[in-house]
Amino acid sequence: MTPTSTPPAVSAEIPRISRREALQWVMTASATLALMPNSLSAADSAAPVTAKPYGTDPLLNHTYKPGDLWPLTLSADQRLTVSALCDVVLPADDRSPSASSVGVPDFIDEWISAPYPNQLRDREIILNGLASLDADSKKRFNGSFAGLEAAQKTTLVDTLASAEKDKTEAAKPASFFTTFRDLTLTGFYTTPAGMKDIGFIGNMPLTRFPDPPREVLEKLGLV
């Protein structure tokens, strides 16, 4: 199930999406991210989630307001960091808008706030990672990550990305970036802007059904 409404307009503020759209993203993403490894133990910085699940029959034709089903997690400062990091992962270009401008920070906040095992696991990873990223930012550049110059943000993210293959204790920051990147991509490419970017048509009526490209048939050994 994917969101069908028009993405929020780009503005100077971090955009919010409807709870229904975020729920649809959560259910779509759960299939994609279900097998992601658990890389961090319980963290002191992750407060317990006491919210109840929405059950097996949520009302998807109802427009939910933020907090109707469970409280969101991110503070204002954390949302700024998430928004800035989303846009390092997927900045705006001539093909599509930035991740933050189509509500990906809302998707991430919704995801890590949900009272389910995968989301609770990722909550620990994301909250610890955001704190570590801002601490490293202040140590190296004397400022929070969201307020850094683009080149400084890229330097910090390159450090995280370069450690992804590390299997030791030092891999924890890389685990954060891997998880964050996957959530950012999942959130973005389940929006109309993301689907347009990859040329996904979806459930569109067709007047004809063209054959698969010959190169695909050749690869499958069918011609």
Q: pLDDT of 152-173, one tens digit each?
A: 999 999 988 877 666 555 556 6
Q: Is residue 11 part of a domain?
A: no
58 within a domain of the structure (yes/no):
yes
Q: Is residue 99 part of a domain?
A: yes
Hunting for tokens 């949302």 — which residue is that? 79
Q: Is residue 59 part of a domain?
A: yes
* Structure tokens, 3: 């969101």
- Compare 162 and 218 and report the one with higher pLDDT: 218
Count CB-CB contacts under 10 A for residue 42. Answer: 9
- Asked if the model's pLDDT at residue 41 lies above 50, the reply is no
81 belongs to a structural domain: yes
- pLDDT value for 63: 79
Greater pLDDT, 188 or 34: 188
Q: How far apart are CA 143 and CA 151, in angstroms?
A: 14
Question: Lowest-pLDDT range, 67-81, 82-96, 141-155, 168-182?
Answer: 168-182
Find the radius of gyration of the CA atoms of the chain.
19
Domains in the chain, number: 1
- State the pLDDT confidence band at 27, using cuts at 50, 70 and 90: very low
**13 occurs within a structural domain:** no
Q: What range defines the domain where residue 177 resides?
A: 19-219
Q: Domain for residue 166, yes or no?
A: yes
Residues 6+ apart with CB under 8 A from 69: 19, 23, 51, 54, 58
Whether 1 maps to a domain, the answer reads: no
